[in-house]
Amino acid sequence: MVSTTPVPVKKPKRIKRHFNVDYHLLICCALAIAVYANTLNAGFVYDDNRAIIANEDIRPSTSSSNLWWNDFWGTPMGTGNSHGSYRPITVLTYRLNYMFAGLRATPYHAINVALHSLATGLVLLVARTVTCRLGAVLSASLFAVHPVHADAVASVVGRADVLSCVFFLLSFLCYSQHVRARDARRQQHASGGGRRTPPQLSKGSGCAAGPRTAACLVFCVLFALLSMLAKENGISVMAVCIGYELMLRLRSLKTKKANAMDQCHSGSLKVLVTSAAVMVAGRLCVMSGTVPAFAASDNPTAKHPDPVVRALTFLHLPVVSVRLLVWPQVLSYDWSMDAVPRIESAADPRNAATALLYAALAAVAGTAVRRKRAAVAVAAAVSVASYVPASNALFYVGFVVAERVLYIPSVGYCMLVGCSAAALVKRARGRRSAAAVYALYAATVAVYSLRTVIRNRDWRDEESLYRSGIAVNPPKSYGNLGSILSSQGRTAEAEMAYRSALEHRPNMADVHYNLGNLLRNTKNFEGAISSYRAAISFRPSLALAYLSLGDCLAATDRYVEAETVLKKCLALDGSKVKDIRSHVTAKKSCVLRLGRMFAAIGKHQQAVRVYKSAIVSEGTFSQTILYALADSLSALGKDTEAETYYRQLLRVDPSDVSTFLTYGDLLAKNRSRVSEAEEWYGKARRQAPDDPTVRARYADFLSSVGRLNDAAEQYEAAAALASGDHEIVVKTATILRKIGRTSDSETYYRRAVRLYPQDAASHSNLGAILHINEKLDEAERSYKNALRLQPNDSTTLANLRKLRNVYHHRRRTVK
């Protein structure tokens, strides 16, 4: 008979877990990485070129102290040239990137993606402090994939926003931990539990800070400082913490221990307010009391004379930003110029949207206060406080709308959406309603993810980026696109892009300048001159336009006009220009162009005055200017003074081959110093044994002193090193003819004709050597080829007559 007594089942031993895996955190961070993985193969685009490639502060060759004295773009703070963007922590990360990866773009993008993933994880943790776990994971998942973040994550320059957000969230987390530790300590003191509190600490109803409480508050302030040093609006976390503290104080007003808690809150508030005030004061000190000036095209509304238009437009800008957060279908790398049309009157229908937005914000704030909803209050505070510094409300900034500055405000938006979705799930009647909410939210995350992945492709290269922005900002996008197409040699497309930009906005000085460069490269000097003049008329401080205009005028033999333009360039004041480096470089180049123009037309005395004036005004010297000055002095016959400058150049750079050669040329003019000259040529040859120019210059010297065989040897060596150099080949052929090696000379003259078949002199020289070598039929053909290219050349005509006389004489001899 079978027993019905159940056999006891032996329970398996539970495996002891040594750690807990936060799957929500892992999923959200992985999602953030997944949607931005396609940015890893992107290059440096748009502002990256100036902040990374052209920024000397990120290079190890530059002192690291410059990070603390210069702005984000490498310009000294407190000067009229600075944008006022003080972000040394962000520049420090670029410097570390450069130290390990140079200018390879992928590691820079990888750091951006990693920081975005970290920010996503921190959003999850912050949301958990004020709402349920479901609301937190919904908020973080939306933040991970939001398309408006592409500007901040896909562009390397956007790291400032991402890094600032990371420190922002860390600061708030530390403050929330401070509040928790402070309240726990107060409750412990009130209940009398734990160790007996010393009398000196019991005063204040348990508000004396414990080590953990104080440490959390210190780290809160420290991370807030780092957030501000990563990007300016990071300081707004202090406002968020203050708002959070006030919200908690509001909650405690109806409790019996309100007085005790007031003392606790007051102590924390004092620290927050004092720290914020010190940070703001420090930031103002860094700017040395100067206010950055921005071009009218960057923020046209700020320059509008009507205060009503300014007020209505700036009040409407948050509506545009909210639209980007809610429906990020239309995105652009740049919203300057007229991308957001100004509101010219109160009758504009957009004012209704403005009023509706502010009414909604007031309703949210009222709900948070009345119902004491910490999640709503914190989310709204994060969005508003971090957006205000970039809103043109407190001071004008250099943009109208910028997607990357929405990175931190989007934290609050995502928390509001996530918490609202979680509340709908809790209130849903039945599983189907909850499933519908989940399905709708999942669809939103999926659509945002797809939009982000597609948007990231626009940031792959500059051509794609600028083409994507044409719909929003046509003048800026066409102008930038023209520059990219021009650099790729697509001249016709580039010209079309430039002209399209000017059709939309005719006063763009940079576009006129770039169009002038393109026309000059195609030898359309008159068109280029017109474009450069237009650039100068719209921006009188554009030194590069003066420089290029002077070049074009000189190229068309209008030397007097060129002199006037270049002198105006030298007189320009650069105290207010934004790109001070290119301005200074242009003015230095202007000195050289003006001096070399004088030298080219034989006015060496004026060239010397220009060079000396530049050296005196700069208080220092450029090697290139010293070199040109020495050359002009040498041309004037002032060899002693020229030698002084050559020796100064050699002290600056004892291994400069070009100075060796030029100094040798100078010494060779004095027959008593020929041996010294040969020593310098020898140094140049030893320094650069495979440089054909060095061999050719040495050969010139040997030929000038009558050592033709040695000269021939050096010319042949130079021709072997530079077989495609027409001038060296011709000189080699000529010296070989002089020393009687006519057969070898013929070989080199034939090579010269092959290298430059349209050169009449090459055909004439070949005819002459063939004539000497008794190859009369070939010689006649060469002479005729030379005359076809240059019909009235007297030397070729004379040689051809001699050749025909030889023919005539031979026929008579035969008869």
What would the pLDDT profile of 154-188 be if each residue is shown by its tens digit?
999 999 999 999 999 999 999 999 888 887 776 66
Structure confidence at residue 201 as a pLDDT band (50, 70, 90): very low
Q: Give mean pLDDT, residues 211-227.
A: 91
What is the rounded distance in angstroms from the CA atom of residue 779 to the CA atom of residue 440?
89
Residue scoring higher pLDDT (252 or 653): 653
Burial classification of residue 714, based on how many CB atoms lie within 10 Å of its CB (0-12 exposed, 13-18 middle, 19 or more buried):
buried
What would the pLDDT profile of 75-101 be if each residue is shown by its tens digit?
888 776 677 788 999 999 999 999 999
Residue scoring higher pLDDT (256 or 367): 367
- Between helix 105-130 and helix 133-145 the angle, nearest 10°, is 160
CA angle 444–236–289, rounded 5-degree value: 135
What is the rounded distance in angstroms from the CA atom of residue 609 to the CA atom of residue 629?
9
Predicted pLDDT of residue 9:
46
What is the rounded distance in angstroms from the CA atom of residue 718 to the CA atom of residue 725?
9
Q: Give mean pLDDT, residues 270-277.
A: 91
Q: What is the DSSP string of 278-346?
A: HHHHHHHHHTTT------TTT-GGGG-S-HHHHHHHHHHHHHHHHHHHH-TTS--S---TTSS----ST
**How far does Cα 736 stand from its chain's mean position?**
54
What would the pLDDT profile of 531-541 be if each residue is shown by its tens digit?
999 999 999 98
Q: Give mean pLDDT, residues 209-233.
A: 89
Task: Kindly compute the dihedral angle of the four CA atoms of residues 766, 769, 775, 779, in this order, to the nearest 10 degrees.
Answer: 40
Structure confidence at residue 647 as a pLDDT band (50, 70, 90): confident
CB 594, CB 563: distance < 8 Å: yes
Predicted pLDDT of residue 618:
65
Structure confidence at residue 254 as a pLDDT band (50, 70, 90): low
Q: Give mean pLDDT, residues 363-383.
A: 82
What is the rounded distance in angstroms from the CA atom of residue 472 to the CA atom of residue 412?
26
Tell whether the model's pLDDT for residue 6 goes beyond 60.
Answer: no
Q: Give mean pLDDT, residues 46-51.
A: 90
What would the pLDDT profile of 402-418 be if each residue is shown by its tens digit?
899 999 999 999 999 99
Q: What is the DSSP string of 43-93?
A: ---TTHIIIIIT-GGGSTTS-GGGGGTB-TTSPBTTSTT------HHHHHH
Residue scoring higher pLDDT (159 or 67): 159
CB 224, CB 279: distance < 8 Å: yes
Structure confidence at residue 368 as a pLDDT band (50, 70, 90): confident
What is the rounded distance in angstroms from the CA atom of residue 143 to the CA atom of residue 418?
10
Predicted pLDDT of residue 2:
42
Predicted pLDDT of residue 203:
44
What is the rounded distance in angstroms from the CA atom of residue 639 to the CA atom of residue 645?
10
Q: Cα dist. 683→650, 674, 695, 704, 722 in Å?
A: 12, 14, 12, 19, 20
Tell whether the model's pLDDT for residue 205 goes beyond 60.
Answer: no
Domains, in order of start, for the chain: 300-425 (no CATH), 473-601 (1.25.40.10)
CB 455, CB 470: distance < 8 Å: no
Longest distance between any two alpha carbons in the chain, whole Å: 149
Predicted pLDDT of residue 518:
95
Structure confidence at residue 491 as a pLDDT band (50, 70, 90): very high
116-120, 199-203, 646-650, 724-728 — most confident range = 116-120
Nearest to 164 by CA among 116, 108, 101, 99: 116
What is the rounded distance in angstroms from the CA atom of residue 384 to the CA atom of residue 377?
11
Predicted pLDDT of residue 659:
84
Sign of CA pseudo-dihedral 487, 492, 495, 499: negative
189-203, 476-490, 622-636 — most confident range = 476-490
Nearest to 418 by CA among 183, 638, 160, 139: 139
pLDDT above 90 as % of the chain: 46
Q: Over 625-668, what HEC string results?
A: HHHHHHHHHHHCCCHHHHHHHHHHHHHHCCCCHHHHHHHHHHHH
Tell whether the model's pLDDT for residue 64 goes beyond 70.
Answer: yes
What would the pLDDT profile of 746-779 be if each residue is shown by its tens digit?
999 999 999 988 988 889 999 889 888 888 888 8
Q: What is the pTM of this model?
A: 0.80
Nearest to 764 by CA among 729, 788, 735: 788
Tell whether the model's pLDDT for residue 256 goes beyond 70.
Answer: no
Q: Give mean pLDDT, residues 600-604.
A: 87
Burial classification of residue 601, based on how many CB atoms lie within 10 Å of its CB (0-12 exposed, 13-18 middle, 19 or more buried):
middle
What is the rounded distance in angstroms from the CA atom of residue 525 to the CA atom of residue 550?
11
CA angle 71–75–78, rounded 5-degree value: 70
Structure confidence at residue 208 as a pLDDT band (50, 70, 90): low
What is the rounded distance in angstroms from the CA atom of residue 657 to the CA atom of residue 627?
12
What would the pLDDT profile of 300-350 be if each residue is shown by its tens digit?
888 888 889 989 998 999 999 999 999 999 999 999 888 899 999 889 999
What is the rounded distance in angstroms from the CA atom of residue 643 to the CA atom of residue 561?
33
Q: Give mean pLDDT, residues 397-402.
A: 82
Nearest to 374 by CA among 126, 627, 201: 126
